[in-house]
Amino acid sequence: MVKVRFAPSPTGPFSLGNARTALFNWLFARHEGGQFLLRIEDTDKERSQKKFEKEIINSLIWLGLNWHGSIVYQSQRLEIYKRYLGKLLKEGWAYYCNCSLEMLEAERQAQLSQGLAPKYSGRCRNLNNTSGVIRFKMPAKIISFHDLIRGNIKFDTSLLGDIVIAKSLEEPLYNFAVVVDDWEMGITQVIRGEDHISNTPKQLILQEVLNIKPPKYAHLPLILTPDRKKLSSRFLQKSFGDYKKDGYLAEAMLNFLVLLGWHPVQDREILSLEEMIAEFDLGRVQKAGAVFNQTKLDWLNAYYLRHLEINKLLERLKPFVSSRWLKKKNLLKKVIEIEKERLKSLKDFAQLSQFFFKIKDYPASLLIWENTPSQKIRSNLETVANFIKSKARGELLKPEFEKEIFLLAQKEGRGEILWPLRVALSGKKSSPGPLEIIKTLGKTESLKRINLALKKLKNS
Ligand code: GLU
């Protein structure tokens, strides 16, 4: 059975790249009817933090990427690594090294000055030390493997030197712990970022001496900035949780992430989760870097916002609006209905809709359309106000009312009627159409706002 894992280190903010790796693993497992496991790689005690771990878990939950079984914590598996380390030491594949940092640095500098790629000289290899860091006796050979995305890859291990695999028996390092865990957890495919490609030969050679069957490997393309640079630290530093805070929908993020390096047949852009599961295939993952496109993300978010059913959208908007608005549920729903089409993010909503709940002060001059005299604007607004007054509340919702206003606008000039009306109702230069606002605010509030505008004009 297919078993994949997502194995983040809680040593920094959960990034977009992390989320993409998680999604590709999850989709692969779903598509194959296999399992998706979550392993927290927290052996680095100094750099691992609970808050980052929480971020990982919350982000996966938010995206709906559920994992199988309980979370595997490397920090709870030290006995297992110790057993494997013991075996390597006993069999002579590993040894203790107590070279000082100064010595190692001097060695490095000497190699660099001779134009050589730095690697450990192997000084402690045959000294039978009983303490220090644990190094792996790297055999010199050509390692080759078939990457499911990138094809055949060859690597000369003699370039690596004797790498450190643990700081002590209780402190395994990444390349070693990963080998043990992927094996013990029965991982069949390792799907991870391209930045790990250089670790793969190290892991393969460790598997070889430990007599472990290697999983298959698939390295996902890097995520690039629009100018095709490696995703800059500004992007990487933006924690994935900030997309949620900025008002992006999980479904838009999923759709955006899946297209970062993969595309379905016919290059469709909008994909439901079901479609992604049905169609996801590592064979369609590209080798070239995947460009991060903010415009596309915003477009996708607007698309999913537009297509969300009103009550669901209301639920999602809750954290973004004030509790006062939530109490006026009927008004809120009407406003959502109107603003939905224009919404780019959940966060936008409060700003766009503020005026429905409370009109902000605005200057009388805003009511003036082009060069129309203020007197004319006043009489136009008065006409509209009288017209509204003459109608029963229900009539304001009917298409006839709309038609009559437009007839009036034809007679007096569109700008001359509709502009001041819009400003009177919204206090803003741009807003939904004035008739939609009247329908939403109702007769009393609309008249109140028009009267306020008339007062402003009179006093100006
Ligand atoms: N802990 C590693 C990371 O966060 C994962 C490496 C792997 O998937 O093998 O980059």
Kindly report the three-state secondary structure assignment for every residue of the chain. CCEEEECCCCCCCCCHHHHHHHHHHHHHHHHHCCEEEEEECCCCCCCCCHHHHHHHHHHHHHHCCCCCCCCEEHHHCHHHHHHHHHHHHHCCCEEEECCCHHHHHHHHHHHHHCCCCCCCCCCCCCCCCCCCEEEECCCCCEEEEEECCCEEEEEEHHHCCCCEEEEECCEECHHHHHHHHHHHCCCCEEEEEHHHHHHHHHHHHHHHHCCCCCCEEEEECCEECCCCCECCHHHHHCCCHHHHHCCCCHHHHHHHHHCCCECCHHHCCCCCHHHHHHHCCHHHECCCCEECCHHHHHHHHHHHHHCCCHHHHHHHHHHHCCHHHHHCHHHHHHHHHHHHHHCCCHHHHHHHHHHHHCCCCCCHHHHCCCCCCHHHHHHHHHHHHHHHHCCCHHHHHCHHHHHHHHHHHHHHCHHHHHHHHHHHHHCCCCCCCHHHHHHHHCHHHHHHHHHHHHHHHHHC
Across the range 196-200, mean pLDDT stands at 96
pLDDT of 231 > 90? The answer is no
CA distance 150 to 209: 25
- Judge if the beta carbon of residue 9 lies within 6 A of ligand 1: yes
Q: Which CATH architecture has domain 364-459?
A: Orthogonal Bundle (1.10)
CA of 293 to the centre of ligand 1 (A): 25
3 state SS of 36:
strand
Q: Which helix (H) or strand (E) holds 144?
A: strand 142-147
CA of 202 to the centre of ligand 1 (A): 14
Neighbours of 75 (CB within 10 A): 12
Q: What is the pLDDT of residue 82?
A: 98
Give the pLDDT band (50/70/90) at residue 460: confident
Q: Which of 5, 6, 9, 75 to mutate to test ligand 1, by most ligand atoms within 8 A of the CB atom?
A: 9
Q: What is the pLDDT of residue 234?
A: 62
Q: What is the pLDDT of residue 226?
A: 80
Residue-wise pLDDT tens digits, 380-402: 999 999 999 999 999 999 999 99
Residue-wise pLDDT tens digits, 319-329: 999 999 999 99
Domain boundaries of the chain, sorted by first residue: 310-357, 364-459
In this prediction, what percent of the chain has a pLDDT beyond 70? Answer: 98
Please provide the average confidence, as pLDDT, over all residues in the chain: 95
CA of 172 to the centre of ligand 1 (A): 14
CA of 8 to the centre of ligand 1 (A): 5
Q: What is the pLDDT of residue 228?
A: 74
Give the pLDDT band (50/70/90) at residue 102: very high
pLDDT of 46 > 80? The answer is yes
Q: Measured from the CA of 41, which atom of ligand 1 is nearest? A: 1
- Judge if the beta carbon of residue 21 lies within 6 A of ligand 1: no
pLDDT of 236 > 70? The answer is no
Q: What is the pLDDT of residue 266?
A: 87
Q: What is the pLDDT of residue 229?
A: 74
